[in-house]
Chain A
Amino acid sequence: MSTNRHPIEQEELMAYLDGELPADQATTALSHMETCPECETVAADFRSVSRELTAWEVESPEVGIPSEINAALGERLQKREAAKIDSGRVKNRVINNRWVWAGALAIVCVAMGLKLTLTSRNRNEAAGMPALDRSTVYPSMASIEQYLIPDRNTEIALARSAAPESISSDAKILVLGWRGYETAIEGRNGFVCIVERSWISPFNSSEFWNPRIRVPQCFNPAAARSILPLTIKRTEMVLAGLSKAQMIDSIRAGFDNKDLPAPEPGAMSYMMSRAGYLNDVLGHHVPHLMFYFPLTDKASWGADLPESPVTLNPQFQGGPEPITEFVIPVGKWSDGTAAPAM
């Protein structure tokens, strides 16, 4: 496959299908594949190999926890309890010894410094990130060019990738320009698809100005009328150069004087793109649906409880938008391929 005709190599195409390409390359791949039958054939071959491998299933016996593991588990938990009791006794013995206190204080100071350094580094490494403090990486707005997608068709394809084609093909598409979002394609079904940028994050997010963030999203008609205006408003204020404090005040005023609407009943959106980039921690994340309500307690949906598939997205939640947003993961990306296990 020549790079003269194809902006991506076959190996990159494979990585795209695996959800392993960075967002900028993924959007290029997505856009190119829609118009290149040759690459679509290559992609179909890769998918076919994966599908044929699924013939080899291994049925595991339905077992509870075997007795040997139960015994080891019991022993481990008992030892832990015993260690806690011993530790309490030792603490009582040393509590009045000032030299022990002085030594311990010195050790704790050194250990805390080391621990903070290592913990930060380990978390970042686990997230595939270099050891950086993101709040210092994205302290303020980058140049507007860094938030724009140069190729309009790429942004349209990325916006549409938020929902299955049966929905997004008839949706209105907005793209971000120098003066804000503008209509690229008129829709026929009331849905609106868009690629949101970093400033839709919570105002206290360390990635509020991360120029790499690309969040494809398709709003249903109720959300297009009542949630999308928030994205439009935030974008207008960002491009106008308002500070975060000014933006927060303006949004509060907007809700107070009813310029900004409350979420309509049934408002929801699709976020099923495998080519999105939600932030440096989540990356592509998993495909999911979002549901919007006037500010409410997350317990009303059982969100964030053990085994509950529903989570509360802190995107708004009164900060300042009086909106609650629940997230439910789904099993497939918008192109019908299986999503990673949660």
Chain B
Amino acid sequence: MTSDEALMLEFQGGSRAAFEELFARYHKPLYGFFGRRLNNPERAEDLTQETFLAVIRAVSRYEPRASVRTYLYGIALKLLAAERRKFLTSSASGQSTTEPRTGGTPECVLWVRQALEKLDAPEREILMLREYEQLSYSDIAELLRIPVNTVRSRLFRSRLALKNHLGSEARSNPALRASTGQPHPGRRGMQ
């Protein structure tokens, strides 16, 4: 299988097929990245497209210093930060905002989301980058511009905290425990 980095260099050299392959590989992961952080499917799709547009615009300057995966999530994090700033501004001025949507969401998902929301924001971001985006400690360190040891210690704290939050939710609603916990095929992480 051609590596992401080779595809990116082929795209830089003018290959449309290489870009199409990168789009096929990363559309779903990037949509998931935005979807979990914004809870707004339309904005998630918009920002996913924005990420690919940014790749197209910057391709001539691309250098294979980091993995393409890290490069893409670096763009995505910047777009997300801008989106959140916009959200805060529009909230402050009383304009309509992208409120999280919860209608139709299974209870076990709400449970996980509520547990994640209880974490400190920096620790939650590291945990999500690891668990959902499947980034290595060094990738996360590079993206967030913090030392690898800090990534590891924060990830450790966040997992312990999340375990407690999930445990307390389960104690208050035992029925939830039965509805989750099945292994998910094809994912990285501790399963």
B36 at the interface (CB under 8 A from A): yes
Look across to chain A and name the residue whose beta carbon is closest to the beta carbon of B158: A49
Which secondary structure characterizes the binding site on chain B? Answer: helix
**Using a CB–CB distance below 8 Å, which chain B residues touch chain A?**
1-2, 14, 16, 19-20, 23, 27-28, 31-32, 35-36, 41, 44-45, 48-49, 52-53, 56-57, 59-60, 63-67, 106, 108-109, 111-113, 116, 130-132, 134, 136-138, 152-153, 155-156, 159, 162-163, 166, 179-191
CB pairs A–B below 8 angstroms (28 shown): A14-B152, A15-B152, A18-B189, A49-B166, A49-B190, A51-B183, A51-B190, A53-B162, A55-B112, A55-B181, A56-B112, A57-B184, A60-B48, A65-B20, A69-B23, A72-B56, A77-B16, A81-B14, A122-B63, A126-B67, A306-B1, A307-B2, A309-B1, A336-B191, A337-B189, A338-B185, A340-B134, A340-B188
Among B64, B131, B184, point to the contact of A126 (Cβ < 8 A): B64
Q: Is the CB of B113 within 8 A of A51?
A: no
Q: Is the CB of A66 within 8 A of B19?
A: no
When distances are taken between beta carbons in the complex, the residues of chain B under 8 Å from A53 are 112, 116, 131-132, 162, 189
Q: Is the CB of B159 within 8 A of A14?
A: yes
Q: A18-B137, A68-B53, A81-B14 are in contact. Are A60 and B27 (CB under 8 A)?
A: yes
A54 at the interface (CB under 8 A from B): yes
Contact with B along A307-342 (1 / 0, CB 8 A): 111000000000000000000000100001111111
A66 CA to B46 CA in the complex, in Å? 10
Shortest beta-carbon distance, B72 to chain A, in Å?
13
A223 CA to B131 CA in the complex, in Å? 37
Shortest beta-carbon distance, B144 to chain A, in Å?
16
Lowest 8 A-B CB distances belong to which pairs? Answer: A54-B184, A60-B31, A58-B35, A50-B189, A47-B190, A50-B190, A58-B32, A55-B180
A206 CA to B131 CA in the complex, in Å? 35
When distances are taken between beta carbons in the complex, the residues of chain B under 8 Å from A43 are 190
A17 at the interface (CB under 8 A from B): yes
A342 CA to B68 CA in the complex, in Å? 12
- Most interface-central of B14, B60, B136, B191 (chain A CB within 10 A): B191
When distances are taken between beta carbons in the complex, the residues of chain B under 8 Å from A60 are 27-28, 31-32, 35, 45, 48
A8 CA to B166 CA in the complex, in Å? 26
Q: A80-B14, A337-B190 are in contact. Are A58 and B27 (CB under 8 A)?
A: no
A36 at the interface (CB under 8 A from B): no
A20 CA to B152 CA in the complex, in Å? 9
A3 CA to B35 CA in the complex, in Å? 42
Q: Is the CB of B27 within 8 A of A63?
A: yes
Q: A15-B152, A58-B36, A68-B49 are in contact. Are A48 and B19 (CB under 8 A)?
A: no
Contact with B along A259-298 (1 / 0, CB 8 A): 0000000000000000000000000000000000000000
Q: Is the CB of B52 within 8 A of A69?
A: yes
When distances are taken between beta carbons in the complex, the residues of chain A under 8 Å from B134 are 340-341
Among A11, A45, A309, A338, point to the contact of B186 (Cβ < 8 A): A338
Shortest beta-carbon distance, B128 to chain A, in Å?
9
Q: A76-B56, A307-B1 are in contact. Are A51 and B191 (CB under 8 A)?
A: yes
Look across to chain A and name the residue whose beta carbon is closest to the beta carbon of B107: A55
A55 CA to B162 CA in the complex, in Å? 14
Q: Is the CB of A338 within 8 A of B188?
A: yes
A61 at the interface (CB under 8 A from B): yes
A125 at the interface (CB under 8 A from B): yes
When distances are taken between beta carbons in the complex, the residues of chain A under 8 Å from B130 are 18
Shortest beta-carbon distance, A243 to chain B, in Å?
35
Q: Is the CB of A11 within 8 A of B181?
A: no
A85 at the interface (CB under 8 A from B): no
